[in-house]
Homo-oligomer: A and B are copies of this chain.
């Protein structure tokens, strides 16, 4: 069985690593914040003294880090993981990064005989805790097969999207839509609020036409419309993803005026203090901008 190393035990990484341990994977863990490993040690994981140590003793290393800069430093930097991994080992990066970073990791790994899989995560921290994450995976067929048991320990839906780099690209396409849905939903519901339309009736109409969408159907009734703006996926993170997306579109010469406008909508929400709230709270930010009271569902409205 693989000896698994896990680097990056933040909000998403911790429950993911815990699920690996629960499925009996031999696990060593590392985080720059020492206390972050405690919960995992209680589950039987060992704490690596350094990233180098973790790399030398693992056959597969998973990384779950804040962004491209951290991933490049941890994997490719001086004294990075790649310096210490054995040929034949495998790197699985679940961070959300730009395509150029995944491509750089893939080719640096290939040069040293190390496999590479990009497997960014869909869904929320609460899914990760239940082992119900969704993975968008870029990998060769062989590396996909090798990574599959680990991914299956952490998630319930695993898409093999194509060769290395495809997982990252799919994630950006997916989040382009998921985040922009919130910005257009926010505009539509602010307008209906100003129009004096009843919220429940508005949702009923919209869900009966092609205007319906996953955010409005799944996330919104449970969160901001129910008065809960605190949990889930923060506007700050959605803004980070949109930055990766818009920059990728500009690098690739695909004009994305909607994404660019949406990013500034999120930037404006962040400037006005909404950055830490759930990204469905873009409705509250839009209402704040429009001098409107934010709409809420009546208590007892059935979700979705």
Contact = CB atoms under 8 A, between A and B. Distances in A.
**Range, interface on chain A:** 35 or more
Contact of A271 (B208, B217, B253): B253
Contacts of A34: none
Nearest to A172: B191
A211 B51 CA distance: 36
Interface string A167-206: 0011011111110110111011111101111100110111
Contacts of A215: 210
A10 interface: no
Contact of A268 (B178, B196, B248, B255): B255
A13 to B, nearest CB: 20
Given A178-B211, A214-B210, A250-B239, A258 B184 contact: yes
Nearest to A163: B196
Given A162-B198, A263-B260, A192 B206 contact: no
Interface string A257-287: 1111111110110111100000000000010
A126 interface: no
A161 to B, nearest CB: 6
Interface hub of A170, A248, A260, A273 (most chain B Cβ within 10 A): A260
Contacts of A272: 289, 291
Contacts of A177: 184-185, 188, 206, 211, 213, 216
Nearest to A208: B157
A292 interface: yes
Interface string A88-107: 00000000000100000000
A166 interface: yes
B218 A210 contact: yes
Contacts of A57: none
Interface of A: 78, 99, 122-123, 134, 136, 157, 159, 161-162, 166, 169-170, 172-178, 180-181, 183-185, 187-192, 194-198, 201-202, 204-206, 208-219, 239, 243, 245-250, 252-265, 267-268, 270-273, 286, 289-292
Closest 6 pairs (CB-CB, A-B): A210-B214, A213-B213, A177-B211, A169-B195, A255-B268, A261-B261
20 contacts: A162-B201, A172-B195, A173-B188, A174-B211, A176-B191, A177-B184, A177-B213, A178-B209, A178-B210, A180-B184, A187-B259, A191-B252, A191-B256, A195-B252, A212-B213, A250-B263, A253-B270, A258-B261, A258-B262, A271-B291
